[in-house]
Each structure stands twice: as C-alpha cells, then as structure tokens.
C-alpha cells in the first residue's frame, strides 16, 4: 500500500492562482445578448405556461363530461 505522506498536496495559493487564470479566460456575453436571451426565455415560459393551462382546461372539461354521464 502506498504511503499517504509521500503524496504532495497542491498549495492553496496555486489553486487560487489557477482559478484567477481561468477567470480571465471567460468570455462574458454583452448586455444586448443577455437582454435578448432573457426575452426569449420569458416568452418561452409564458407560451409553455399557456400551453399547460390549455391542456389542463381540456382535461378538466373532459373529466367533467365523463363524470356528468349517468349510467
């Protein structure tokens, strides 16, 4: 079995140095892109919500028709 004391741990400073280097590589979207993407997501959520509400109303209507039938 390998001796655990022989393995070297990277120092915390080198970790944070690496994080800082990677942070500089990030390409942030422009404000215009963020606004456009937010608008698309908002419209998609509204449309999906309306679709779900419509399907729910149809199912409710169908269930009311089925429960109103007297055998």
Question: Greatest CA span in the chain, whole angstroms?
Answer: 82
How open is the CA angle 26-35-31, to the nearest 5 degrees? 45
pLDDT band at 57 (very low <50, low <70, confident <90, very high): very high
SS3 assignment, position 60:
helix
For residue range 11-24, list pLDDT tens digits in order: 778 889 999 999 99
Domain ranges of the chain: 29-71
pTM of the full predicted structure? 0.62
Q: Is residue 69 classed as helix, strand or coil in its secondary structure?
A: coil
pLDDT at residue 11 in the model: 76
């Amino acid at each position: 079995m390998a001796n655990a004391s022989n393995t070297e741990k990277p120092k915390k400073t080198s970790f944070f140095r690496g994080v800082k280097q990677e942070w500089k590589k990030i390409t942030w979207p422009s404000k215009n892109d963020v606004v456009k993407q937010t608008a698309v997501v908002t419209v998609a959520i509204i449309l999906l919500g309306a679709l779900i509400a419509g399907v729910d109303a149809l199912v409710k209507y169908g269930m009311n028709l089925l429960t109103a039938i007297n055998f």
